[in-house]
Amino acid sequence: MQLIKNLKWRYATKKYDNSKKVSEKHIDIIKEAIRLSPSSYGLQPYKIKNIKNAKLREDLKPLSWGQNQITDASHLFLFCNSIEVTDKDVDDFIKLKSSINKIPVEKLSSYGDFIKTKLSKKSEIEMFHWTAKQTYIALSNAINACAELEIDCTPIEGFEPEEYNFKLELNKEGLNACVLLAVGYRHNEDTAQQATKVRKGLNKIFEEI
């Protein structure tokens, strides 16, 4: 299976060749993989920032534990989860679903009400963690797309979210800095590429009950 081959090929790249850039054609494929990611109720409660500004990336490096991937990777994506999901967000989704599936909004209103009711039962912290979980599903699709294209990537949690939120004024957009994804091509001096992948055996992960 090609997916398994891809997953064996990829690794969390530590050192990027900053002279190599990922083509916009391939970036568009990665973006589409993110867009098509599944999410609960189909709401996609996140936004992805494509950080292109070199000066900004330099400024963000100290807020990311000084990791070189922040500045040396071809592209840097910041996955932001929504702090909350409002009734308007649900209404907008229902309108979009109506438009795409050619179903009158009135016939979807009960589904919209169902979503609103379920979401209203979540506390503020539950809502925050729920949207973050949805964001990680999108991240996973991006990682798999990179592997299929034989483009290196590094998911990064080693950064200061609150500092990112302040620097990028994310709270004003109702967003939180959730996780980073550096994308590019490995440097031939990156010794991490020589390491054997370490994963638990199937019998340690799966249990029949």
Q: How far apart, in whole angstroms, are the C-alpha atoms of residue 11 and residue 57?
A: 23
Q: How far apart, in whole angstroms, are the C-alpha atoms of residue 10 and residue 12?
A: 7
Q: Where are the alpha helices (DSSP H) in 76-160?
A: 87-101, 105-120, 124-148
Q: What is the mean pLDDT of the chain?
A: 98
Which of 83, 24, 80 is CA-nearest to residue 52? Answer: 24
Please count the structural domains in the chain: 1
39: in domain = yes
Q: What is the pLDDT along the chain (209 residues), one digit of tens a residue?
A: 799 999 999 999 999 999 999 999 999 999 999 999 999 999 999 999 999 999 999 999 999 999 999 999 999 999 999 999 999 999 999 999 999 999 999 999 999 999 999 999 999 999 999 999 999 999 999 999 999 999 999 999 999 999 999 999 999 999 999 999 999 999 999 999 999 999 999 999 999 99
The per-residue pLDDT for range 170-200, each reduced to its tens digit, is: 999 999 999 999 999 999 999 999 999 999 9
37: in domain = yes
54: in domain = yes
Domain that holds residue 185: 9-84+123-193
92: in domain = no
The pLDDT value recorded for residue 59 is: 98
Strands (E) in the chain, as ranges, are 46-50, 75-82, 152-156, 175-184
Q: How far apart, in whole angstroms, are the C-alpha atoms of residue 137 and residue 118?
A: 20
State the CATH number of the domain containing residue 157: 3.40.109.10
115: in domain = no
4: in domain = no
203: in domain = no
183: in domain = yes
